[in-house]
Structure 1
Amino acid sequence: MVIFVTGSGVRGSPGRGAAATGGSPSSAVVAVTEERQNLTCYSCNSQLEGEGCRFPHNLSLAMRRTCPPSHRFCSVTRVDYSVDPGGAMRAFSIERSCSEHCTTECVAVGERLRLYMCRSCCAESLCNTGNEARALLEEGGRALLASRRLTVPLLALLVAACL
């Protein structure tokens, strides 16, 4: 809806059912309000969908989800692990989803069996195709790993999968 604000009143745009209360459109300040469309994000988990979720070129139309209005972000959460300190990281899982709140970050836990959880966030439809947080980790952003937060269920799930 377009609203005209004038010195002598407010009126709605023609054909929108708003009554005119006076004023000249030529002297108006125009305010445009638009309805916010819900975000669309890829939504999948590599533990359930396999390789289809892991790599961007495998993402399909079936993985697209319209987010609830309160979810303003698309996110990618990736969990990797290494068995030896300084050893090569191995992929465990990747999840793409809608998120109400999101922080781009990487966290690590463990000494010998080291778990890495990286999350990246974006705010445009279908933007969750990569994982920029993972790139931060690979480019030497290990200072982000000072935190030792990782949920116990996630840790238990990863350890069970490695056995």
Structure 2
Amino acid sequence: MPGNADSMGTAVLALVCLVIGSGSGQLLAKEHKTHAASGKPNDLGCFVCDTMEDGDKCASVNQSDTLWRSKCNDDRRMCMVKRFSYTTSTENSTSEIRMWYLERNCTHRCEPGCIVIGERTKLYACTACCEKPYCNWMSRAGGVRVPFHPILAPMLPVITAIAYSLPS
């Protein structure tokens, strides 16, 4: 019977290769949705604005604001907030964190967290994600507003890394 198991394994492997190699390549895509999931209506709405086009009012949206409410289309089923900030340092002091750009939008893919680069001038690129209607109204999407403190802000990536490494 061991020969039959090897033959069966070879047949299964051949079938998998055939399925992956044929058709539209759906199984090779990063995200695969069944037809039922693809047909599900998208009822999500998010605040959609950015500080370059819409000015500082986009940085301080209230939950009750109606100005930038927008329905999300297609596979964009998450709300996000992207914030780019910076600080400058000398030997004796570090400036307060200053926002350079903020964007609120619908998205199909969102990876929360912050990236910090630089030494004397630190650049912060932070993204927050949420999946409830109009949840991206705070500085952090859908969560408790986190004040940025000039001394604690550089520690944010370390705190985020520790939080993600803790077992659930």
- TM-score normalised over the length of structure 2: 0.57
Structure 1 residues 35-74: aligned runs within 5 Å:
35-57=40-62, 60-74=65-79
Across the aligned residues of Structure 1 and Structure 2, the Cα RMSD in angstroms comes to: 3.0
For 2:128, the aligned partner's letter is: S
Opposite residue 143 of structure 1, the aligned amino acid is V
- CA displacement 1:33-88 (0-9 Å, x = unmatched): 99533311110001111122010239742311111120110000111101116432
Greater displacement, 52-61 / 122-131: 52-61
Give, in whole Å, the separation in 2 of the partners of 1:136 and 1:62.
25
Contact 1:41 1:128 in 2 (8 A): yes
Partner of 1:79: 84
Q: Which runs of 5+ in 2 are unaligned?
A: 1-36, 162-168
Q: In structure 2, give the amino acid aligned to 1:116.
A: Y
Question: Which residue of structure 2 lines up, in the alignment, with residue 129 of structure 1?
Answer: 137
**Paired residues of 2:87 and 2:97 also in contact (CA < 8 A):** yes
Evaluate the alpha carbon distance shift between residue 136 and residue 69 of structure 1 in structure 2; reply closer, same or farther with a 3 A threshold: farther
Q: Whole-Å Cα distance in 1 between the matches of residues 157 and 40 of structure 2?
A: 41
TM-superposed CA distance for 1:110, in Å, is 1.3
* Unaligned residue ranges in structure 1 (runs of 5+): 1-32, 147-163
Aligned pairs, number: 114
Separation in 1 of the partners of 2:82 and 2:63?
Answer: 17
SS of residue matched to 2:104: strand
Distance 1:41 1:93 in 2: 18
Deviations 1:81-138 (A, max 9, x none): 0111643211111110001100110111111111101110000110101133783975
TM-score (norm 1): 0.59
Of structures 1 and 2, the one with the larger relative CO (CA 8 A, separation 6+) is 2
**75, 91, 104: which one aligns with 2:99:** 91
Q: Please identify the structure whose Cα radius of gyration is greater.
A: 1
